[in-house]
Chain A
C-alpha cells in the first residue's frame, strides 16, 4: 500500500473525488424531527454566561500575572490565563464559527474574530477549512484539518502541546497572506469572493503582533508577549490534549462518524474550556446542534453510537498505543464496536468506496 498523501493537491484527494468518497452522504442516526428541532434551538444566554466567565477570568488572571511579574508567584496566574487564551480560544473559534454558540449573529462574529486571533488562525481562511473538515472528515487529501497523519509524527505531536508546529506554520503564512496574497492551497477551498478578507485579516493580525513586539522591545521585557502571542504556546496543551482525541487512532477514508470520531466523558472544567466538544461524534453527525445541547443530543442517540471513553486518561490509553502501532503499520486503526441497539456499519459501502472488494 502506498503511503498516504495528505496534500490537498495530491493524488489521494483526486482519488477521493474520483471514487465518490469526497462530499459523500454520511450516516446519521434517526432522530424524530420534533426532538431534533428542540435540540437545534439557539439561545444567547448560555454563551453570554460562559463568555463573561471566560473573559472575566482572563482579565483577572492577566492582571494578577502582570501585578506579580516577574516574581515566581505570577506563574500560576499565567498558566491559568494561558490555557484560557491558548486552549479555550480553540473551542470558541470552533463553536462561534459554526454560528451555533449564540443566537445573535454579531455575537458569534465578535467571539469568532477574537478567538481566531488568539488561536492564530486566519478567521477568513479557517472558516472555509473547517467547512471542508465537516464535508470530508478524515478523508485523506480532502480534509485540511487532519491532526494526526499516518504514520504519526510523534515529535511533532509532542511539540504541538506547546504550540510549536502551529506557530511555525502560522507566521510565515501570515506574512505571505499580508504581503503576497492567498496561498494556492487556500484557493482550493476558499471561494474567490472571500480572498480579500484573508488578506485584510492577515494585515490586521500582523499589525497587532508587530505592535506587541515593539512594546516588548521598548520595555525590554517579554511581559507584553506573555499577554499576547506566547499564551498560544504555553497554554495550548489542553486543546491539543482534547483535540488529538477527536479522531486519533480511528479510521480514515470512511463516511460514518461513528468510525472516525470519538466521544469522551470529561470533567466539568475541561468541558468548559472545550465547550462540550468532547461529544465529538454527536457534533459531527449534527453540527447544527449548539454546544450546550450536546449532552442532551448524546442522551438521545447514544444507543446508536460506540461506547464513549470514560475519561481523558482512558481515551489516551486507547489512542496512544494505536498511534504507536501505526508507526509500524500505516493501515492499522481502532475499529469501533457498536452496541446491539445500533444500526450496523455499511462496511460494504466503506470498502467499496475504498476501492476494495466487499467482504462476503
Chain B
C-alpha cells in the first residue's frame, strides 16, 4: 500500500478537516483535538456530499447536508441519516507532513 504525502500538519487547524484529492479519489483528513491525524473517504456514505464542509466535534464529523455523523477514527456511523460506515485510511506524520496509506 503506498503512502501518499497529503498535506502539512499546519494545513489543518485542530478539530477541523480538509479535503484531499488524489488519483481520482477524494479523502478527508482530520486533525483531532488531541493532536492526532486521521483520514477517511471524502464523501458521506448517505449521499454524494463532501465531508470537508462539515463540522468536526471532538472525534465526530458531521455531514454538512443532513447532519449525519461518523466517528472519523473508526468510520462508524453514529447518527441518522447515515447508516453505512465510512472507509478509513491509516495516517502517519513524518517531519511536518501528513501521509495517508491509500488502498
Contacts and interface: CB of A to CB of B under 8 A. Distances in A.
Contacts of B69: 99
A288 B55 contact: yes
B57 A42 contact: yes
A127 interface: yes
A134 interface: yes
A98 interface: yes
B79 A105 contact: yes
Given A134-B66, A288-B62, A288-B67, A37 B55 contact: yes
A234 B51 CA distance: 42
Contact of B66 (A25, A103, A131, A191): A131
A152 interface: no
Nearest to A98: B67
Interface in A281-338: 286-288
Interface string A21-65: 001010010000100110011100000000000000000000000
B30 to A, nearest CB: 13
Given A40-B55, A100-B67, A134-B66, A23 B48 contact: yes
Interface residues of B, number: 20
A40 B54 CA distance: 9
A128 B80 CA distance: 8
B83 interface: yes
Interface in A104-121: 105
B75 to A, nearest CB: 17
A105 B80 CA distance: 12
Interface in A178-208: 191, 193-194
Interface in A255-284: none
B46 to A, nearest CB: 8
B16 A288 contact: no
Contacts of A33: 16
A74 interface: no
B58 to A, nearest CB: 10
Given A23-B47, A40-B55, A288-B54, A135 B80 contact: no
A286 B64 CA distance: 7
Contacts of A41: 55
B35 interface: no
B48 to A, nearest CB: 6
B90 interface: no
Given A23-B47, A37-B16, A287-B65, A128 B81 contact: yes
A36 B13 CA distance: 14
Interface string A120-158: 000000011001001100000000000000000000000
Contact of B65 (A36, A100, A103, A135): A135
Contact of A194 (B55, B62, B80): B80
A287 B54 CA distance: 10
Given A37-B55, A288-B54, A191 B67 contact: no
A274 B26 CA distance: 38
A134 B65 contact: yes
Contact of B64 (A99, A191, A193, A288): A288
Nearest to B49: A25
A193 B66 CA distance: 18
A33 B79 CA distance: 24
Contacts of B81: 127-128, 131, 191
Nearest to A23: B47
Nearest to A190: B81
A37 B80 CA distance: 22
A135 B66 contact: yes
Interface in B50-98: 53-55, 57, 62-67, 69, 79-81, 83
B67 A99 contact: yes
11 contacts: A28-B53, A37-B13, A99-B62, A105-B79, A128-B81, A131-B81, A134-B65, A135-B66, A191-B81, A287-B66, A288-B62
Q: Which 7 residue pairs spanning A and B have beta carbons closest together? A: A40-B55, A131-B81, A131-B66, A99-B67, A98-B67, A288-B64, A191-B83
